[in-house]
Amino acid sequence: MIGQQIGLPYLIPIALEVLHTDPFAEGVCYRGDLLAAVLRAEVPFWRQHPDLRREAARIAERAFGLLPTLDEIDRQTAQDVLSEAIGLFRQSEAKV
């Protein structure tokens, strides 16, 4: 539902709790897809919730630092997807 931008005020805080424990928590598809979905939340959501935005940014930074701990396939997938998602997330910085 996060990927569909549904219920973000309720689901993002829950997702962030999960991501604190495991930044590469797997939703349905692959390791790191939950974080990627969170990072792709729409700009208006982040504008209304700057505290959650800061928390998501800290988790994303931690995830990038932990990429070397993943096996080769998971690392490459997570790196590709998270790089794209963090790019979108950072573009919203100027708008928040």
Question: How many structural domains are present in the chain?
Answer: 1
- Each residue's pLDDT tens digit, 13-34: 999 999 999 999 987 788 899 9
Rounded to whole angstroms, the Cα distance separating 55 from 61 reads 10
pTM: 0.88
Q: Return the structure tokens found at 57.
A: 């940014």
Q: Which domain holds residue 56?
A: 2-95
Residues forming a β-bridge with 31: 26
Task: Report d(CA 45, CA 22) in Å as an integer.
Answer: 23
Q: Give me the mean pLDDT over the 26-46 stretch.
A: 89
Secondary element (H or E) of residue 61: helix 50-66
The overall average pLDDT reported for the chain is 90
72-88: pLDDT as tens digits: 989 999 999 999 898 88
Own/partner long-range contacts of 22-25 (Cβ < 8 Å, ≥24 apart): 23/59, 23/60, 23/62, 23/63, 23/66, 24/63, 24/66, 24/70, 24/74, 24/78
